[in-house]
Chain A
Amino acid sequence: EPEVTQTPSHQVTQMGQEVILRCVPISNHLYFYWYRQILGQKVEFLVSFYNNEISEKSEIFDDQFSVERPDGSNFTLKIRSTKLEDSAMYFCASSESAGGDYGYTFGSGTRLTVV
């Protein structure tokens, strides 16, 4: 079964440092997403990406966040200057269509710990 791959599985970083989280979406999917889940809380939408540009973003996705598809397979989330409150599980997801017809397939996540 096709899957979304995320690396690293766990990243520890010092406050103020930049981190890049990496994702390889399912190969025939065209729509890509980042979500995050703070421990004990719900999964929250960050950003959606299509055709090499951001299509939607949430209030959480402020200027310290950016996304990029640097090549034909990778999809990255960069956090420029990490804060303690950025500690969370970050999930990448992809889907075949823009609509929610079939749901999204999520990667296994990157656990980001900011110290």
Chain B
Amino acid sequence: RKEVEQDPGPFNVPEGATVAFNCTYSNSASQSFFWYRQDCRKEPKLLMSVYSSGNEDGRFTAQLNRASQYISLLIRDSKLSDSATYLCVVWGPGAGSYQLTFGKGTKLSVIP
């Protein structure tokens, strides 16, 4: 049973494109939701929290649908520097303990 599931990609998009990532989570008791970004062999870095009302940070828009347990991330006007793996992360009870649970990530390559 995959707790947080993402399309692994890779997504190869040209600069300036709009790209969307999707994520589903299995535990309805999950309480907080995030997108993290991870560059190759680096640590995960918080990109943004995700709220049911939807939230935007510059070119990035995140959305949460608690009823369908679905999270999305939209990146507009992609830059070369957006190339990374995007991790869908939920916080809540998992395997008996409260923790951040990570998806395996979706790899994005933005091509000149």
Contact = CB atoms under 8 A, between A and B. Distances in A.
A108 to B, nearest CB: 5
A69 B30 CA distance: 29
B8 to A, nearest CB: 10
A44 B95 contact: no
A68 interface: no
A109 B102 CA distance: 16
Contact of B89 (A33, A91, A101, A103): A103
Given A42-B105, A56-B97, A99 B44 contact: no
Interface residues of A, number: 27
Contacts of A58: 95, 97, 99
Interface stretch (B21-29, B34-42, B64-72, B76-84): B34-42
Q: Which of B87, B89, B99 has the most CB of A within 10 A?
A: B99
Interface residues of B, number: 26
Contacts of B43: 91, 106-109
A82 to B, nearest CB: 20
B29 to A, nearest CB: 12
A57 interface: yes
B101 interface: yes
Given A45-B94, A48-B97, A101-B32, A106 B45 contact: yes
Given A41-B104, A58-B97, A103-B46, 19 more contacts: A35-B100, A42-B103, A43-B87, A43-B102, A45-B94, A56-B97, A59-B95, A91-B43, A91-B44, A98-B98, A100-B31, A100-B32, A101-B49, A103-B89, A103-B91, A103-B100, A106-B45, A108-B43, A109-B42
